[in-house]
A = this chain, B = another copy of it.
Amino acid sequence: MTQAFLAALRSIVGEANVLTTEPDCAAYEEDWRGRYKGRALCVVRPGCTDEVAAVVRACAAAGVPMVPQGGNTGLVGGGVPHAGGDEVLISLARLNRVRAVDVVNNTLTVEAGCTLAAVQAAAAEQGRLFPLSLASEGSCQIAGNLASNAGGVQVLRYGNTRELTLGLEVVLPDGRIWNGLRGLRKDNTGYDLKHLFIGSEGTLGIITAAVLKLFPSQSRRAVAWLALPDAGAAIHLLASLRQRAGERLTAFEIVCSAAHELVLQKMPGSVRPLAEPAPWYALVELADSDLAAELEILLETALSEAFEAGWVIDAVLAGKESQAQALWALRENISEAQKKDGISIKHDVSVPVSAIPAFLQQADAALEAAFPGVRIVAFGHAGDGNLHYNPSMPQGGEANVAFVARTTEVNRIVHDIVAALGGSISAEHGLGQLKRDEILRYKSEVEMDMMRTIKAAFDPRGLMNPGKLL
């Protein structure tokens, strides 16, 4: 029976695109951080939407569950099969064409398997910006970004992947194709189906193509690294910068002292940008499409106010592009520096922007009380209320192993505080396998019930990425 099923798949996508041996499948069966390892019945690599639909129909006919996979760069195990060996892993990597560019409409129609970097490049070729930007952009694929509603460093200005999407093409769990590839800014003709699939982590269907929004390219940018007295000052500074700079405020990242020191220590070539250490830092970027924009003047004016108000202790403005890149590296290298330092317990949380200081104060205090000596590396997209909050034991070794073994307790402390402040326990990474059970503690029964209702309505047999998200 399995042989007949595999033969059916081969007849759809060709011999070479049905992988069954352990060595061929291994890279698809494990996530890149090595935290989730499963076993698939096979890996299928369709080459076009019709092939995806035919594969899905074959799986549905045989009652075989499916796991869609993009660049396999996810952080929550959402694209990795379970261990049972009974799931077909459907890789979208071969659907990698840019189908259409409409510069006047500011849209790009791309297939699921285009890497984010390829989408950015296609936009840049037309003198436009596709603003989604994140660490794995060279290998993550756009349908994975869509399925997980990816965030990144420019969300403050441009929104999450959800806000960057105008239309979708989706293969439904029964193999029908929904062509929702509309490039419209306004369309009020019924329920907004695209938003149901965006962020659904492959549990309702397989996204095969999308119409994405393009934006004016950024002609100029101004970048500053600022020393702050505390996290509360960051929030005042953000509000002031936003009122003054409007949408030009493209990024507002904060970095705690411990995170900054780790980068300076662990990442060769890192240079301390300011003379004195400070409790907190902010990385601010303004960008403008207008070549004549005087962003430095705008930024300096805003900062002189902030100095007077006591929100900023010290500041350096990048004088040229290489300096801007060096300042950004101080932010972008935090994860890598912490990895070099050893394992930590990672949280990807969000709260209302106004609640960031309260969250940090409460979570720091609660963790220190429960785990004396704990070191907290906190940083992230403060403009979006999104913090990466990673505690560990600074001395490493046995103490840290023992600490990490108590992840469940640590999560409980951090996530309960997040929830009490009206926040989210997964701001940009999704639920996948990692937080599928944890979310049950925080979402109301009504909300879980609505989610299950949708899942049952679209995928009554539960064949689409089972055990993820729900």
Chain A: residues with CB nearer than 8 A to chain B? 102-107, 127, 148-149, 151, 155-156, 159-160, 162-163, 172, 176-180, 182-193, 195-196, 198-200, 204, 215-217, 235, 239, 242-248, 288-290, 292, 298, 301, 350-355, 381, 383-386, 422-431, 435, 439, 442-444, 446-447, 450-451, 453-454, 456-458, 469-470
Contacts and interface: CB of A to CB of B under 8 A. Distances in A.
Contacts of A107: 352
B446 A176 contact: yes
A172 to B, nearest CB: 7
A155 B185 contact: yes
A127 B240 CA distance: 12
Contacts of A288: 246
B424 A151 contact: no
Contacts of A199: 188, 190-192
Contacts of A191: 196, 199-200, 204, 450-451, 454
A155 B186 contact: yes
A354 B105 contact: yes
Contacts of A292: 298, 301
A235 B103 CA distance: 11
B457 A353 contact: no
Top-5 shortest CB links A-B = A195-B195, A104-B354, A247-B247, A187-B424, A457-B457
A353 B104 contact: yes
A193 B446 CA distance: 11
A137 to B, nearest CB: 18
B235 A104 contact: yes
Contact of A185 (B235, B384, B429, B457): B384
Contacts of A450: 172, 178, 191, 193, 458
Contacts of A444: 178-179
15 contacts: A103-B354, A105-B385, A151-B188, A155-B185, A178-B446, A178-B450, A182-B422, A185-B384, A186-B424, A188-B429, A190-B469, A191-B199, A192-B198, A244-B290, A454-B457
A112 to B, nearest CB: 18
A188 B427 contact: yes
Nearest to A185: B384
Contacts of A454: 191, 454, 457
A292 B299 CA distance: 12
Contacts of A183: 352, 422
Contacts of A172: 446, 450
A431 B189 contact: yes
Contacts of A102: 352, 354
A296 to B, nearest CB: 13
A127 B435 CA distance: 39
A305 B358 CA distance: 51
Given A185-B350, A190-B439, 20 more contacts: A104-B353, A104-B354, A105-B353, A105-B354, A107-B352, A178-B446, A184-B424, A186-B350, A186-B381, A187-B426, A189-B426, A189-B443, A190-B451, A190-B470, A192-B198, A196-B196, A243-B289, A244-B290, A453-B457, A454-B454
Nearest to A215: B246
Contacts of A428: 186, 188
Contact of A217 (B127, B156, B176, B243): B243
A354 B191 CA distance: 25
B289 A186 contact: no
A397 to B, nearest CB: 34
A163 B195 CA distance: 12
Given A180-B447, A243-B289, A447-B178, A162 B439 contact: no
Contact of A186 (B151, B178, B442): B151
B187 A350 contact: yes
Contacts of A290: 244-246, 298
A189 B424 contact: yes
Given A192-B199, A244-B290, A184 B350 contact: yes
B447 A188 contact: no
Contacts of A196: 191-192, 195-196
A447 to B, nearest CB: 6
A458 B180 CA distance: 22
